[in-house]
Structure 1
Amino acid sequence: MIRTTKRKVQRGEDNKRKIAREEGISERTVRRIVKEDMKSKSYKKQEAHFLDEDMMKVRKQRCQTLLRRFQNDSHRSIVFSDEKMFTIEEKFNKQNNRIIARNIEEANQRGRIVKRRAFSKSVMVWAAITSDGKSPLVFVEPGVKVKSQYYREQILDRVLLPWARRHFGRRHWCF
């Protein structure tokens, strides 16, 4: 039984339920054989971007170019920025956030129903970082649409540029 289970796993049969059913043993036994006897672990399949040979060559060349470009530690003077919208509503994952109850009424009383608003309260926050510092946070006023003019005038000119001049001094920097 253990030998045939091991053989099936080594051949690439990954469905532990199917192996347990075929061998007439419990799934727990199959899991124990895989973990303890075979010193192995079960991994989920993961999707990844398909790369053909040409794409891999291009990526390798670009990586080598970046390594050459940043040999003198110039990458330490790059400023990265991002913005994030924070909402006050609870985020939940239907699959993982569960309510344990005896019946549906009890589950409803314990918070099974999560109510959503069409336009919940939120705040947008912008920040920038470099290898040795961080900019002040920018809280965008509610209802403001961040378009190019607003971004340039209110964030880059009023916050990033003065901070970068103070932070870097006479050093060269890149945004």
Structure 2
Amino acid sequence: MASELKVDSKTVRNAVKYDLNLRSYTRTPKQLLTNSLKEKRLERCKKIITWLKKNPSIVTIFSDEKIFTVETVLNRRNDRYFAASTAEVKGKFRTKHPAQIMAFGVVASDGKKMPIKFYKSDEKINVDTYYKTLRYQILLWLKTNYPNGNYVWTQDGALAHTARKIQDLGKSNFSNFWE
């Protein structure tokens, strides 16, 4: 704004602050975890740490999915509004269904990693899709890289991961499986 008006940036800051009585606000993210969920996570983490201390030679396998979206990048720190209150700050509009692709990655605590699996653009990870990925790709990779079964399979609490079909597959086919 200062360069457009060909004045010093301090002049603009003073005008906004003192003459217009406006302040600069950022859009802040809100926490989605409740206190009870935080306590449950802490309890689970303590159990995991205890288990790992008892089994120091076990390799931990981590997996996760990520949806990559084709959308303009928004940097909240640089996207600022001058207003008298937060109620006057306009929202950031986005397209309803931007183009996206799902990727699934597996990495081990010893540094080994499975090649990233990309799903079709219209395909989401549901129970059946995740089952096929575990059964026909991940189990093969685990048996090739850890023939002695010295690993533990971990996953987050996504709905596809917590389904009974997935839990049964994990208990019966993985050498160590954290439900």
Q: Calculate the TM-score normalised by the size of structure 1.
A: 0.49
Higher relative contact order (CA 8 A, sep 6+): 2
Report which of the two structures shows the higher radius of gyration computed on alpha carbons.
Answer: 1
Greater fraction strand: 2
Q: Calculate the TM-score normalised by the size of structure 2.
A: 0.48
